[in-house]
Amino acid sequence: MRSYLKNLECTYCNEIFSADQPRRLCEKCGKVLYPRYDIKEASKYFTKDMLPARAPNMWRYFEMLPVRDESNIVTLGEGFTPIFETRRLGSELGSESLMLKDEGLNPTASFKARGLSAAVSKAKELGLRKLTMPSAGNAAGAMASYAARAGMEAFVFMPQDAPEANQKEVSVSGGNLFLIDGLISDAGVISREKAAEIGLFDVSTLQEPYRVEGKKTMGYEIAEQLGWELPDNIIYPTGGGTGIVGMWKAFQEMEELEWISSKRPKMFAVQAENCAPIVRAFENGEEFAQPWENATTLAAGMRVPSAIGDYLILKAVRDSGGSAITVSDDEMINMIDLIGKLEGFFVCPEGAATACGAKKLIENGSIDPSEKTLLLNTGSGLKYLDMLP
């Protein structure tokens, strides 16, 4: 297999950079870089009928992933999580065709495994040995686990109220854990300071170009698993937004590969009532989101007051014809129980938020009951035992 990675392109000013040395943000404008591929060339050799013979993990899309040498892949078996029909939940929420992709089945029990498998693999290929990251929780556990698997050193800066499971998984995998009295944005400042001070490579969400490539594989899988026809709606719990923008990128790439038509799902971003910078910017018609003051929610993954990829999230949501809405912590807590009782999944609060979002979007007419609607359960509820009532 060969990767068709070409270079890195700034998503804002379109400046091009080499993908063969470590890079973070655009050196010209400070915005997010995306890996770009020679898709025209790839489409001649990389066809979707090659996929069934490949292993059921996210590296089955190797040609469209950024690692050049297969021996650099750092894997714990991430990706190719199943999509389930959830009829009983659907009828409770008013949908005739509701599905759930269960990302809780990933290694480290969340979809963060995808992004960190890609980022740690590429870091290994580029010769980096020490990684750092601020994290609200799951990403830290994933980074520490993948760094351990690669024989690298991990430094993690986490709000001190992050779920206990996340703190444990960092220490179990030998990561250096620093608990911060503050939010993820405060942890980010300290992580960057430490990176400069002792030579660590900072792999914060969308501040390095490769985590999004792991997350985009959710988009490839959704197409493949649903017979190359995307659903009408995708509902996503949005923090830093890597997943939602990653899937949006995947759809574009797959259209260029001629794997799917130009039909796109409506993308709906769900945020917590007390941390909803993207929803506010969406409603105000703004290109960028103002930081949210005093962010609180038990859904640690959505406790992101300010996202560097805000303009990418807002553009994907708007271009798709979707929208952005909020749900409360109480709604999430009740929904965790409802999904458990009706379908048997123990979802995380963020995953529950997508079902709360579906209910509201059906009620307000944004989603038609007959449309195919896909929820992303981004992690396992088992990681939040100390957070749930």
Instruction: Work out whether 241 is an interface residue with ligand PLP (CB under 6 A).
Output: yes
Q: Which of 49, 176, 100, 152 is nearest to 343 (CA)?
A: 100
Do the Cβ atoms of 254 and 260 come closer than 8 Å?
A: yes
**Residue span binding ligand PLP (CB under 6 A) among the ranges 9-17, 21-29, 88-96, 135-143:** 135-143
Distance CA 28, CA 325 (A): 33
Instruction: Work out whether 159 is an interface residue with ligand PLP (CB under 6 A).
Output: no
Query: By C-beta, is 23 or 48 nearer to Zn ion?
Result: 23
Q: Which of 74, 81, 145, 133 is nearest to 108 (CA)?
A: 145
Query: By C-beta, is 29 or 198 nearer to Zn ion?
Result: 29
Query: By C-beta, is 63 or 103 nearer to ligand PLP?
Result: 103
Task: Region of 256 please: left (phi>0), alpha (psi -120 to 50) or beta.
Answer: alpha
Instruction: Work out whether 26 is an interface residue with Zn ion (CB under 5 A).
Output: yes
Structure tokens belonging to residue 76: 């714990």
- With CB under 6 A as the contact rule, the residue among 24, 36, 60, 112 that binds ligand PLP is 112
Instruction: Work out whether 29 is an interface residue with Zn ion (CB under 5 A).
Output: yes
**Residue span binding ligand PLP (CB under 6 A) among the ranges 241-249, 255-263, 278-286, 357-365:** 241-249
- With CB under 6 A as the contact rule, the residue among 231, 239, 322, 381 that binds ligand PLP is 239
37 strand-pairing partners: 5
Query: By C-beta, is 10 or 324 nearer to ligand PLP?
Result: 324
Instruction: Work out whether 78 is an interface residue with ligand PLP (CB under 6 A).
Output: no
Helix (H, G, I), strand (E, B) or coil at 245: helix
Instruction: Work out whether 277 is an interface residue with ligand PLP (CB under 6 A).
Output: no
What order of strands is seen across the sheet that includes strand 373-377?
A: 83-85, 98-102, 373-377, 233-237, 266-272, 324-327
User: What residues between 180 and 209 interact with ligand PLP by CB under 6 A?
Assistant: 205
Instruction: Work out whether 55 is an interface residue with Zn ion (CB under 5 A).
Output: no
Instruction: Count other Cβ atoms within 10 Å, centred on residue 388.
Output: 15
Instruction: Work out whether 138 is an interface residue with ligand PLP (CB under 6 A).
Output: yes
- With CB under 6 A as the contact rule, the residue among 191, 207, 242, 354 that binds ligand PLP is 242
Do the Cβ atoms of 263 and 230 come closer than 8 Å?
A: yes
Query: By C-beta, is 31 or 48 nearer to Zn ion?
Result: 31
The DSSP-derived string for 287-308 is SSPPPPTT---S-GGG--S--T
Q: Which of 269, 268, 211 is nearest to 238 (CA)?
A: 269
Q: Which residues bind Zn ion (CB under 5 A)?
A: 10, 12-13, 15, 26, 28-29, 31
Q: Which residues bind ligand PLP (CB under 6 A)?
A: 110, 112, 136-139, 205, 237-243, 301-302, 348, 350, 378-379
